[in-house]
Chain A
Amino acid sequence: DAGVIQSPRHEVTEMGQEVTLRCKPISGHNSLFWYRQTMMRGLELLIYFNNNVPIDDSGMPEDRFSAKMPNASFSTLKIQPSEPRDSAVYFCASSSLRGTNEKLFFGSGTQLSVL
């Protein structure tokens, strides 16, 4: 398996523009997580899905952020409108989570810069 695949690897945009980040989880995994990593705040969980259903979105900073998982093999994280403070590395991760002792597998991340 190719692992968790994220695109794009880098995104540079101007304030106010819409940004869409994409993720393909590992085949067979039923849980998907979106994290944001910054130097100041470390790794923060934004939202996680189980069987394509959002379970916990309490980490989504505000209404400008939205996430979807239309099927088991694809998820998007959208920021509209983007702001400079959204600049961070955004990671997608997946797990089988059929029990409670399954490893979490991360993608390589999307480095977002909002100018």
Chain B
Amino acid sequence: KQEVTQIPAALSVPEGENLVLNCSFTDSAIYNLQWFRQDPGKGLTSLLLIQSSQREQTSGRLNASLDKSSGRSTLYIAASQPGDSATYLCAVFSNDYKLSFGAGTTVTVRA
């Protein structure tokens, strides 16, 4: 069974600092990995999807890397802003067609 772990569980940084969020997974037989953002009381919004054949994906200030062989992904958010405060979840789509989520990292960006 795929296990997805996110460390740290919570992170607080001053505005302008770069954010680094980590995700690890136990089974490298995956199709893709997605990073989601969840605001309080809301659903999840997909931020980036990295295919298993890719090493990274970028969207604006967001960059996600994938090292499938070591079972790791990192989400970088450059020049953080208070509006980046949210919970970030990674999800792994495995070869058994199941999407497994981590518990998330709750980010607070202080103005």
Chain A interface residues toward B at CB < 8 A: 4, 33, 42-43, 45, 55-56, 91, 93, 100-109, 111
Contacts and interface: CB of A to CB of B under 8 A. Distances in A.
- Which of B31, B34, B41, B99 gathers the greatest number of chain A CB atoms within 10 Å? B99
Interface SS majority for chain B:
strand
Given A103-B34, A106-B36, 15 more contacts: A43-B89, A45-B98, A55-B97, A56-B97, A91-B43, A102-B49, A103-B46, A104-B46, A104-B91, A105-B46, A106-B43, A106-B44, A107-B43, A108-B43, A111-B41
A89 B98 CA distance: 20
Nearest to A108: B43
Interface string B20-41: 0000000000011010100001
Contacts of B49: 101-103
